[in-house]
Amino acid sequence: MRVLIVHPKFYIYGGAELVIIKLANYLARKGIENAILTTSILPEIEKDLLDTKIIIRKEPDIPFVSPGFKVILAIWRGIYDNLNNFDLINIHNYPAELSFFPFRKKAVWLCNEPPGFVLRSKSELSLFLKLAKGVISKFDKFVVRHFIKNVIVADEFNARRFEGLYGLRPEIINYGIDYNFFSQADPEKVKKEYCLNNNFVILQVGILTPLKNQIESIKTVEKLKYKISNVKLILAGLADKEYKLKLEKYIQEKKLEEYVIFTGQLNGEKIRDLYHACDVLLHPIKTQGGWLSPFEALCAKKPIIVSSEMSASDIIKKEKIGVVTDDYEKIVMEIYKNKNEYLKMGERGREFVKNNLSWESFCQKNLNLFQKIFKPLIIGNENILR
């Protein structure tokens, strides 16, 4: 079996990109030929791939055409050129699924989250964008239902949401966590770098965007600074420029400069050290992405607070390994006052991650589905793909 992994653009090294690297390397170790089709890729991502061919299709230089449509055209051309070289197409992230029309090939969409336009409320959109959203949404559903059909999501929350949007029930495969990597660290390095000694440290990890909702973490610190004088908020992640300007303006207006630190994009080692250096991970995320960070923090036995909208909140609540709430100030204060009690919760979480969330399991379950879909039908001495 030969697998073509399709991802629109590797412009950051985030959770979605990590999922692809883990899967591609697993397939390579199993002796399964695989390649990644994309419009661009970061050198550090390419470096982390074991034996995966990279196929780059540049976005066409067409005037008066939106960047998103250029990506769709580039990926479509890449699939067209390679259709006969692979047995199965593994699609990741919008708008790659739209590029699969009108191909008739075995395909699996690993839907980390629904397309961004689906998650945006109508009140955020202009009249033109509302009309465009309706057209794109209908075409998106048509392609997924009639051409892709096989979909993987990470949890029950996303499964329910996907079924409501597309009318298809996806497979659920929980992501993996690098337990061995995140359970060991040297927190003193980052404590010294960011002057965190003698501080109560709240950490949020992830790209700075409205859907990651860093403004809520800042507002929480605004309330807490009167109760916890040594509180410090670390916002670790690459920033959407417009959103960061909004955050910085709020910080300046509320005179919170001494309480908030922006780190920018960090490598895995520094993120790991921050998990061990913090007192609590705050994750006020909305219904988009951000699945890995809370479980990575649990590897450091740290208490985690996630929003009720966070897609893995069902797992966290069921296993009692973190707090699911929208009253962040209250829970942070409880953790501050009862640190030992919440460290026990973090310990339970660490054991849960160690015993239940591995990349080996995630990748093997993906491969099982690939093999189930890719079944040669043997007639006489010939193999014919179903």
pLDDT at position 290: 86
> What is the chain's mean pLDDT, rounded?
91
Instruction: Tell me the domains of the chain and their CATH numbers.
Output: 3-176+360-385 (3.40.50.2000), 179-355 (3.40.50.2000)
The type of residue at 254 is K
d(CA 167, CA 127): 27
| Cα 73 from Cα 98, distance rounded (Å) | 9
**Which residues are 376's β-sheet partners?**
385
The number of CA neighbours under 13 Å toward the Cβ of 48 is: 18
pLDDT at residue number 377: 45
Q: What is the pLDDT of residue 64?
A: 81
Question: Tell me, what's the pLDDT at 129?
Answer: 65
**Angstrom distance (rounded) from CA 76 to CA 10:** 17
User: So what's the pLDDT on residue 289?
Assistant: 73
Q: Is 258 left (phi over 0), alpha (psi -120 to 50) or beta?
A: alpha
- How many CA atoms does the CB half-sphere of 49 hold within 13 Å? 23
pLDDT at 119 over 70: no
Res 116 pLDDT > 70: no
Model pLDDT, residue 12? 86
What percentage of residues in the chain have a pLDDT greater than 90? 80
**Bigger pLDDT: 125 or 288?**
288
How sure is the predictor about 117, in pLDDT bands with cuts at 50, 70 and 90?
low
Q: What number is the average pLDDT over the span 253-268?
A: 95
Q: H/E element holding 72?
A: helix 67-82
Cα(232)–Cα(225) distance, integer angstroms: 9
Determine the average pLDDT of the residues in 132-150.
88
Average pLDDT over residues 98-115: 91
For residue 226, CA distances in Å to 191, 230, 257, 330, 333 come to: 23, 10, 15, 13, 11
Cα Rg of the chain (Å, integer) = 22
Is there a contact between 150 and 107 (Cβ–Cβ < 8 Å)?
Answer: yes
Q: Is residue 35 helix, strand or coil?
A: strand
Structure tokens at 154: 């990470």
Q: Which residue has the tokens 């660290």?
A: 185
Per the structure block, which two tokens stand in for 123?
A: 């009140």
Torsions phi, psi of 253, nearest 5?
A: -65, -35
Q: What is the 3-state secondary structure (H, E, C) of 143-184?
A: HHHHHHCEEEECCHHHHHHHHHHHCCCCEECCCCCCHHHHCC
The percent of residues above 70 in pLDDT, for the chain, comes to 93
Asked if pLDDT for residue 104 goes beyond 70, the answer is yes
pLDDT digits (tens, 9 = 90+) for 326-363: 999 999 999 999 999 999 999 999 999 999 999 999 99
What pLDDT was estimated at residue 379?
A: 41
Give the model confidence (pLDDT) of 227-254 as tens digits: 999 999 999 999 888 999 999 999 999 9
Give CA–CA dist 297/322, Å, rounded. Answer: 11
Residue 3 and residue 274: Cα distance in Å, rounded? 36
Write the pLDDT tens digit of every residue in 12-27: 888 899 999 999 999 9
